[in-house]
Amino acid sequence: MVEWLAGNRIRGTSTERTSTSGFNPVSAEAGGWKELGRTTLGSTTSTIDVASLADKRYLMLLTDIRPSGAVDGMMRLNNDSGSNYAGRFSNNGGSDGADTSASLMYNAETPSDTNPIFAVSYIANLSNKEKLHLSHSIAQKTAGAGNAPNRGEYTSKWANTSDAVDRITTLTSTGNNYASGSELVVLGWDTDNDNTNFWEQLASVEGDGTSTTISSGTIPARKYLWVQAFTNASSQNTGFQFNNDTGNNYAIRRSSNGGTDATCTSIGYIEGSDTSKAFTNMFIINNSANEKLTIGHSIHNPTAGAGTAPTRNEVVGKWTNTSAQITEIDYMQQTTSVNFPSGSFIKVWGSN
């Protein structure tokens, strides 16, 4: 979870940075995700390439794929096409596959798809270590709330131990192309105090025990949204609705505790969490002309104490509206009438 500083900012100023004490003390620093580079396709082509990246220890990638034919979302670093990658992958909660001495990394939907794909990925980018990569993706699949999306989980490593990542290329292994508008955004974790954080806070609202909904209120339209929500109640099933749409215009795919995927179609919300105190972290691709795709993870704490393991959920979803961007997010009850107590909240960040 993000730590909040004065003025509800993700970043801190130099006056808010203190020194730690104890063995080998270091200066504590605040930072933020800073945009290092992006490429948005203006025509149909087979790659999305972002080059001349600054050397940052941690990278975050936002991949917006709009296919021209059936495509997937593979990746190369620093234009290295040698057999220097290894990966592990799972699609729709299926058994893991592994790939070694490969010339590509898995980053987004495989097998290929002809509909939009969205992925959120991270890279540990220390120059003298193998680069470790983690990605979660959602593929819209056939349009409409009657059709559930696909989800993918991918981990990879690039065996290079002498260079930091300075170039990232998304490419498809199918022989088809990415359509105009496809985009790769690369963020780096930066401690420079220059107030250029990619993620802008759009809403921060807390529960007060009087309602079964915590609403963001009206927020500015942003292409990329990041949502964190917490319920402090012990008997709530939570979900998310967009722009006050309570109709059966949503579909999800979910897994609980690594179990077999389940799908729910033509429902009235994107699932958040099961019945317990819970925290949800979710990313959304918010293109007005496309179905809105979500990638969410949540943890639920049904019983206090170290003697009981928490529950985890992985949920991808879509809202089938294709005429407007999301400008309100409601954190709501799925099935119960329990109000959100004090300590519950929804926080939303966004960027174009």
- The CATH number of the domain holding residue 155 is 2.60.120
What's the confidence (pLDDT) of residue 194? 62
pLDDT of residue 232: 86
What confidence score (pLDDT) does residue 213 get?
93
Q: Identify the pLDDT of residue 336.
A: 73
Same domain, 158 and 209: no
Co-location of 171 and 207 in the same domain: no
Q: Do 182 and 239 have their domain in common?
A: no
Same-domain pairing of 176 and 41: yes
How many beta carbons lie within 10 A of that of residue 261, not counting itself?
18
Whole-number pLDDT of residue 86: 97
Q: Per the structure, how many domains does the chain have?
A: 2
- Using DSSP's 3-state secondary structure scheme, residue 328 falls into coil
Both tokens assigned to 316: 């991808």
Instruction: Please state the separation of Cα 41 from the chain's center in Å.
Output: 21
> In this predicted structure, what is the pLDDT of residue 190?
82
60 and 150 share a domain? yes
| Residues 136/295, Cβ–Cβ less than 8 Å | yes
209: left (phi > 0), else alpha (psi -120 to 50), else beta? left
Say whether both 175 and 41 belong to one domain: yes
Q: Which domain holds residue 306?
A: 200-351
Low-confidence ranges of the chain (pLDDT < 70): 1-30, 193-195, 275
Tens digits of per-residue pLDDT, 193-250? 666 899 999 999 999 999 999 999 999 999 999 999 998 887 778 999 999 999 999 9
pLDDT at 19: 44
